[in-house]
Amino acid sequence: MRRLRENSRGLSEIVGTLMLVLIVIGAAVAFAAFVATYEKQLLTQEAVNHDRALESIRVLTVTPVPQSGTPTLAGSISFLVESETVNPSNISAISIDGIPVAIFCAAPGTGTCTPTNPIPGYQLNPFAQATIGIDLIPGTGIPIGSSVSLTSDLEISLYTVLGNVFNSIYLPPTAIATVSLIPVESGNSLSYIPALDGSESTQPGTNQTIVAWLWTVTSTDDSNFEPMGACSGLFSGEEVELGSSPCEFTADDTYSITLQVANDVGLIGLEALQYSFEPSS
């Protein structure tokens, strides 16, 4: 009996030792699997971070189109983008001035497209270009109550699947209008030909330039016999002499003068002034 008990005790010790070995082996295998999974996740995250850091998209040109009847608001916009990375970039969303865009389209290169149906995104191939078109009419392309002004800063934001946001900001010009008078003698009389000067208008920054000056001159003096006044009309140019209309200011003439300047992006600046002519001015 004593020998049997000793044999049972020895067997229990062997079984306990084997169980302990199995537990240690199981823990080692589980730890190795955990380390392998963690390393895989870490390598995947490092690869994503690497791709995110390399990703770069640049907006090359911007072409807004004013709304019909509201020239200070954009009805649509298209812009040319370019990839500057060796991997494809997936554009997942776009916002204009912080307003989320519901509908946009994309065409390779400088092609054209019509933003009629929502698309889930667009894959921009390495070092490729694409034209993106956006509908900016409230209720269709952007939420109701929203609008994109052409007289304020324009910000384009491109969101990618990798989590990058590429922002491009464009500044509008500032219109500065002045009116001077050119005296003209005719016999014993002296008249004055108006000259409009928009040369002091400015464009902030160095990426855009002013390319157009449009003047709107409207008579506000009921004493003029002509319905719109002799000097009324639309005129273009940085500096405009209205003498070729023919046009001259006479005493007590009053005019509303608006200067609209536009830069090469299509953003505009406005200045409106009321001008009253007095012979002593």
* Domain extent listing, the chain: 57-170, 178-276
Is the separation of the CB atoms in 88 and 125 below 8 Å? yes
User: In the structure encoding, which two tokens stand for residue 115, read together?
Assistant: 């933003």
Q: What is the pTM of this model?
A: 0.76
Side chain identity at residue 274, one-letter code:
Q
Looking at the domain that runs over 178-276, which CATH code has it been given? Answer: 2.60.40.10
User: Are 57-170 and 178-276 equal in CATH topology?
Assistant: yes
The reported pLDDT for the residue numbered 109 is: 92
The reported pLDDT for the residue numbered 4 is: 46
The reported pLDDT for the residue numbered 33 is: 75
Distance, in Å, from the CA atom of 116 to the CA atom of 102, rounded to the nearest integer, reads 10
Q: Kindly report the length of the chain.
A: 281
CB atoms within 10 A of CB 208: 19
In this structure, what DSSP letter does residue 87 have? Answer: S
Low-confidence ranges of the chain (pLDDT < 50): 4, 224-228, 281
Is the separation of the CB atoms in 201 and 259 below 8 Å? yes
Quote helix, strand, coil % in the chain, to nearest 5. Answer: 20, 45, 35
Question: Burial code of 250-269, b = ≥16 C-beta within 10 A, e = fewer?
Answer: eeebbbebebbbbbbbbbbb
Beta strands in the chain (DSSP E): 57-67, 70-83, 89-96, 99-100, 104-108, 122-124, 129-135, 154-160, 165-170, 178-186, 189-197, 210-219, 233-236, 239-241, 254-263, 268-276
Query: How far, CA to CA in Å, does 230 sit from each of 191, 219, 266?
Result: 14, 8, 31
**Cis omega (within 30 of 0) for bond into 246:** yes
Record: fold of 57-170: Immunoglobulin-like (2.60.40)
